[in-house]
Each structure stands twice: as structure tokens, then as C-alpha cells.
Amino acid sequence: SQKIEQNSEALNIQEGKTATLTCNYTNYSPAYLQWYRQDPGRGPVFLLLIRENEKEKRKERLKVTFDTTLKQSLFHITASQPADSATYLCARGGGYNKLIFGAGTRLAVHP
């Protein structure tokens, strides 16, 4: 079955540092991966989409990579701020217009 695995342990970093979150997938490479941010008690908010043929994608302080050899995507937040504290969800395409989500990694940025 198609699975998305994210580090279940919370990531704690100091303000100003780069946060790196990992997303691993099983079986065949999906055509794309998506990353979402979710604040407590709120719905997820879309951040970035990266396609299989794209190695890297950037948006402001965010960067996503897609390594089909390692079956892995890395999500980076540079110059992190306390406001970046949230849970970050990785999702893969799972068929016709379907998204399969990982459990998410909670990020805490400390002043």
C-alpha cells in the first residue's frame, strides 16, 4: 500500500535556525508531493507542491526537495520564527485526484 511516513517526534529549534522536516514514502514514486501547515484546531493550509521531475522548489523562506532514489522529500524553513511553530503535513498523490497524508511533524521554534 502507499504510505507516507513523517517523524512523529516534535522538532524543537532555536529562532533564526533552519528547520528540516523529513517525509518518506513507500512503493512507487508519486507524481507529486504536497506540504501543508496545520495550526492546532484548524484545517491544513497548502504550502508547496513538488513534482517528480523537480528536484527542488522554493517559496520565500521555504524549500522542498524530492529525491526519488531515497524515496524522500525534505522540507526546509530558513531563518525560522516562533510564528512558524505548527504541524507540517506531507501528502502524496494516491490515485485519481486523491491525497494520502502522513501523520505530520510538529515544529516548535523557540525565541
Partner 1 sequence: EAEVAQSPRYKITEKSQAVAFWCDPISGHATLYWYRQILGQGPELLVQFQDESVVDDSQLPKDRFSAERLKGVDSTLKIQPAELGDSAMYLCASSPSTGKNTGELFFGEGSRLTVL
Residues that bind partner 1 (CB under 8 A): 4, 6, 31-32, 34, 41-46, 49, 89, 91, 93, 95-104
How far is the first Cα of the chain from the last one, in angstroms, to the nearest whole number?
A: 41
Q: How far is the CB of 41 from partner 1 (least distance, A)?
A: 7
**77: its cell numbers:** 524553513
Nearer to partner 1, 12 or 17 (CB): 12
Nearer to partner 1, 34 or 80 (CB): 34
Angle at the Cα of 75 from the Cα atoms of 88 and 85, rounded to 5 degrees: 40
